[in-house]
Amino acid sequence: MRARPHKRTVSAMELRHLRYFVAIAEEGSFSSAAERLWVAQPGLSTQIRRLEAELGVKLFIRHTRGVDLTDAGELFLERARTTLAAAEAALSTGHDLEAGLAGTIRLGLSIEAAWHLTPELLADFGRTRPGVELTVFESFGGALLRDLRDGRLDAVLAPSMFGSGELLRQRVGREPWLVLAGPGHRLANASGPLAARELDGESLVVTGHRDGAAYDRGVAETLAGLGAQPVLQRGGSGPALFASVVSGEALALATTPTAAYGGMVARPLEPERFVDFELISRDETPSPALDHFTQAAAALAEPARPPLRAAA
């Protein structure tokens, strides 16, 4: 029966061998390397003999003035330095993960309504945590919350109306409702606040989608509370949600002027009504990277508040 070949492994002792070897090569003597490494010279000589025996080659030519590298030693020095650098980088990975300097975050952003400081948050976090891979997904809030519960997302930044009792919620800010009107709509021809009563009889876009139901309900309840009676109609899918608004056929409620693309005009709703925004997560002990992201979001919030759990 043929014997199995011996499989070599890189142990902590072997990494120490490499450090000893590099120090001797750089110092040019065993005594100077021993002082640099704070080890006894006889022990250092023993470790190098073991390394040479393991490799099957002589690494040093010993003489009265110190040591010189052999040809094999010159080649091994280059590879030893590369190996030590790679080992140091690998060891630092754990420290970076623990400190929140590395890792991954999968963040969901609702398309129905947006927090105006989201771009600033993403830019600042990317600048201060370049080692964290932050991936952003945009969809209806309901779909994002489902992906969060199933573990496909780490956090969701959305209006508080999407939160639920089993999830953690960090308030990040609030936005006023704005009325969006396309360039061809009569209500786009004026500036300043738009009285709620002017929405009576107007077509107003909602998602009409089960994953946007919380937004639709928030819009309907806000308007009912103001006594406004528009005609709610289903908008387009995804990015085309406000297509009929752009064409001037309908109006919509949004939370940031940046939603007013395609020539749309954003007018404040009068009297003012607001939407709270939250960073919603699943784990009570989040990864360090997500914990730092939550802290960054909280730092932008006015007023800042501690994390809270939604009422059941």
Same domain, 284 and 168: yes
- Which residues share a beta bridge with 134? 105
Find the CATH number of the domain harbouring 186: 3.40.190.10
Please say whether the beta carbons of 102 and 289 come within 8 A.
yes
Read off the pLDDT of residues 80-103 as tens digits, 9 standing for 90 and up: 888 887 777 666 556 655 655 568
Read off the pLDDT of residues 103-136 as tens digits, 9 standing for 90 and up: 889 999 998 898 999 999 999 998 988 888 899 9
pLDDT at 165: 76
Q: How many domains does the chain have?
A: 3
Same domain, 149 and 82: no
Query: Which among 227, 181, 238 is positioned nearest to 204, based on CA atoms?
Result: 181
Per-state percent for the chain, helix, strand, coil, to nearest 5:
45, 25, 35
Most confident segment among 2-6, 36-40, 265-269: 265-269
Same domain, 302 and 280: yes
Domain assignment of residue 26, yes or no? yes
Domain that holds residue 196: 178-272
